[in-house]
C-alpha cells in the first residue's frame, strides 16, 4: 500500500484548503453510492467538499492512501471508558453488573479511571471511532484523556442515589460536571447521566430531567437493561421500566437509552414514539444475555436506533464489530436489518440528539471526522460490495481524523504511545484487583 503525505502539486481548481484526504473509494454517508478515486477537502475542523481527484485540488497538506477506503468516523452511542478493566469478566457467569462490577468499583481510584479511560479511548480511535458517549464516574478524568488523544467525547458523570457503589454524592459530582465551562467547539462535552431508573429514586430522576432541560444537555441512561431492574421497578411503581421513564418525562428530552433489552408488551410502541429518544443497541451484550433487541421493528415504527459497544463483552470498543453482530442478531430474530442500516446506526443516528449538523457524513459543513480503512485486504479487494465487506469484517484502520486533525496514522496513535497506555492500565488493573482481593 502506497502512502504519501505531501504538499499538493496539482493545478488548483478547488479552493485552497488546509487538508486533502485522497482514497481509492469514498463513502460520504451510509446511504450514498461509493465514489472512486475521490478527495475529501477539509478546512479547519469542517469538510468543505468531496471531489473527484481528476478535478484537482489545492491543499496545504495531502494524505493519500492508494487502496484506502474512506468513510465517516464511527459514533459509539454507549460505552464506559473507565470500565475497560472489566473486559472478559462477563464470562465468569452471574449478573456481571451486580456480582462483579459493583464490588470492584468500590475500590476504584480517580487515577485508575484515567488510566482505564485512556486505554479505551485509544482503542476507540484505532478501531475507527471518532465520537463516544461515555457514562462513568470521574468524567473529568476521562475528558482529560479524550481531549489529549483527540477523541470527540460526550461524557456523563454516573448518578446512583438508590443503589450501587457511587452513593448520593454522585449527584453533586454530576451537577458540577454539567456546569463546567467548555468552549462551544470543544471536543469534550457533557451528558446528564442517571445510571438507571432502578438505581435512582424519583426525586433524583426528576432532578436529572430538569437539569437536562435547563442546561440543554442530552440525557444518557440505561433502560430495561436487566431482570433485576425490571423486578425493582415493577415492585416500586407497578409498571415496566420503559413506561416508568415515559411517566417521568425522560423520553421527551433528547435522550439516549442504552440496551432496552427486557421489554414488556407495549414498550416497543412507547420507544418508537418517544419524541426525543434514541435507543443505543449493544448487540454483543444482548447476545450474551440470550436475547435480541427488536431494533428493526423500533425503526419501522418510527423510532431511532444507534449502535453502542458498552464496555464488555465487546473486548476492544469496536463499533464496526457491533454493527456486524447487529446484522446477524436481527436476522437470527427474523427481522430485516442490512449492513447499510447498521452503518447508519453507527454514524448518523445521533446527529440531532447531539446537535451536530452532518455528524456521521462527509458533506459540506459536516465535522471533519473520517477514517481511512485499508482496502487492499483480501475480503475487500474482491468484494462485490465493499461497504458490506467492511461492516461484516472490519479491515485495519490506517488513518483516523477528528475535527480535521489526524489522530491515527498508519495504524499508530499520533498523540500518545499505546505501549505506555497499556503498561499504565495494566499496573492499575493489578493494583485494583489486589485491593479487591481478586485474581
In angstroms, the CA 190 to CA 369 distance is: 19
Q: Categorize the per-residue pLDDT at 8 as very low, low, confident or very high, splitting at 50, 70 and 90.
A: very low
Domain that includes residue 373, residue range: 3-72+363-413
| Residue that the C-alpha cell 489526524 belongs to | 406
Residue that finishes a domain, picked among 323, 354, 385: 354
- Sequence-separated (6 or more) residues with CB below 8 Å from residue 366: 46, 47, 72, 357, 358, 359
**Does one domain contain both 121 and 249?**
yes
pTM: 0.95
**Does one domain contain both 297 and 240?**
yes
Predicted pLDDT at 315? 81
Q: What is the mean pLDDT of the chain?
A: 94
Q: What are phi and psi of 389, to 5 degrees?
A: -60, -40
**Does one domain contain both 287 and 373?**
no
- Asked if residue 184 has pLDDT above 90, the reply is no
Quick check: is 188 in a domain?
yes
Quick check: is 90 in a domain?
yes
For the stretch 209-267, pLDDT in tens is 999 999 999 999 999 999 999 999 999 999 999 999 999 999 988 999 999 999 999 99
The secondary structure of the chain in percent helix, strand, coil, rounded to multiples of 5, reads 40, 25, 35
In angstroms, the CA 273 to CA 383 distance is: 38
**Does one domain contain both 267 and 379?**
no
Length of the chain: 439
> DSSP 3-state assignment of 270?
helix
For the stretch 116-132, pLDDT in tens is 999 999 999 999 999 99
**Does one domain contain both 275 and 381?**
no
Predicted pLDDT at 397? 97
Quick check: is 433 in a domain?
no
- Asked if residue 173 has pLDDT above 60, the reply is yes
Q: Is the dihedral of CA 73, 78, 81, 86 positive or negative?
A: negative
For residue 260, give the nearest of 252, 251, 271 by alpha carbon. 271
Helices and strands (H and E) in the chain: how many: 17, 17
CB 219 within 8 A of CB 255: yes
Report the domain count for the chain: 2
* CATH number of 377's domain: 2.30.40.10
Mean pLDDT for 290-309 is 95
The cell numbers describing 434, all together, are 489486589
CB 257 within 8 A of CB 124: no
Quick check: is 425 in a domain?
no
- Measured CA to CA in angstroms, residue 55 lies from 9, 12, 39, 64, 223 at distances of 13, 9, 9, 16, 50
* CATH number of 199's domain: 3.20.20.140
Quick check: is 422 in a domain?
no
Mean pLDDT for 261-290 is 92
In angstroms, the CA 340 to CA 32 distance is: 10
Residue that finishes a domain, picked among 319, 354, 389: 354
Q: Categorize the per-residue pLDDT at 90 as very low, low, confident or very high, splitting at 50, 70 and 90.
A: confident
Amino acid at each position: 500500500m502506497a502512502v504519501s503525505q505531501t504538499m499538493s502539486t496539482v493545478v488548483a481548481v478547488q479552493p485552497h484548503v488546509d487538508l486533502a484526504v485522497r482514497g481509492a473509494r469514498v463513502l460520504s454517508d451510509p446511504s450514498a453510492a461509493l465514489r472512486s478515486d475521490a478527495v475529501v477537502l477539509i478546512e479547519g475542523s469542517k469538510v468543505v467538499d468531496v471531489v473527484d481527484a481528476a478535478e484537482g485540488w489545492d491543499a496545504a497538506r495531502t494524505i493519500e492512501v492508494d487502496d484506502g477506503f474512506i468513510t465517516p468516523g464511527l459514533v459509539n452511542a454507549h460505552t464506559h471508558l473507565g470500565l475497560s478493566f472489566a473486559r472478559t469478566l462477563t464470562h465468569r457467569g452471574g449478573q456481571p453488573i451486580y456480582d462483579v462490577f459493583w464490588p470492584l468499583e468500590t475500590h476504584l481510584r480517580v487515577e485508575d479511571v484515567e488510566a482505564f479511560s485512556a486505554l479505551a479511548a485509544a482503542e476507540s480511535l484505532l478501531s475507527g471511532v471518532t465520537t463516544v458517549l461515555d457514562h462513568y464516574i470521574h468524567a473529568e478524568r476521562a475528558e482529560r484523556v479524550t481531549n489529549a488523544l483527540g477523541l470527540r467525547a460526550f461524557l456523563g458523570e454516573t448518578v446512583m442515589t438508590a443503589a450501587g457503589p457511587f452513593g448520593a454524592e454522585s449527584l453533586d459530582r454530576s451537577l458540577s460536571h454539567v456546569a463546567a465551562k467548555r468552549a462551544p467547539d470543544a471536543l469534550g462535552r457533557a451528558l446528564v447521566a442517571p445510571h438507571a431508573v432502578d438505581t435512582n429514586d424519583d426525586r433524583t430522576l426528576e432532578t436529572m430531567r430538569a437539569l437536562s432541560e435547563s442546561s440543554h444537555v442530552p440525557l444518557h441512561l440505561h433502560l430495561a437493561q436487566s431482570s433485576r431492574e425490571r423486578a425493582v421497578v415493577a415492585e416500586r411503581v407497578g409498571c415496566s421500566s420503559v413506561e416508568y421513564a415515559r411517566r417521568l418525562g425522560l423520553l421527551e428530552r433528547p435522550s439516549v437509552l442504552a440496551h432496552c433489552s427486557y421489554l414488556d408488551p407495549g414498550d416497543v410502541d412507547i420507544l418508537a414514539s418517544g419524541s426525543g429518544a434514541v435507543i443505543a443497541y449493544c448487540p454483543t451484550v444482548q447476545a450474551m444475555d440470550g436475547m435480541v433487541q427488536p431494533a428493526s421493528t423500533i425503526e419501522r415504527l418510527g423510532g431511532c436506533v444507534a449502535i453502542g459497544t458498552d464496555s464488555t463483552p465487546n473486548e476492544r470498543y469496536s463499533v464496526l464489530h457491533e454493527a456486524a453482530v447487529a446484522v446477524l442478531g436481527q436476522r437470527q430474530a427474523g427481522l430485516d436489518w442490512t449492513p447499510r442500516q447498521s452503518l447508519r446506526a453507527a454514524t448518523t443516528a445521533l446527529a440531532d440528539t447531539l446537535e451536530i449538523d452532518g455528524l456521521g457524513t462527509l458533506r459540506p459543513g459536516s465535522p471533519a471526522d473520517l477514517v481511512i480503512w485499508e482496502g487492499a485486504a483480501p475480503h475487500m479487494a474482491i468484494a462485490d460490495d465493499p461497504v458490506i465487506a467492511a461492516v461484516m469484517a472490519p479491515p485495519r484502520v490506517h488513518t483516523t481524523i477528528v475535527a480535521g486533525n489526524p489522530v491515527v496514522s498508519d495504524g499508530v496513535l499520533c498523540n500518545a504511545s499505546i505501549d505506555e497506555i497499556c503498561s499504565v492500565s495494566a499496573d492499575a488493573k493489578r493494583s485494583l484487583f489486589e485491593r479487591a482481593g481478586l485474581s
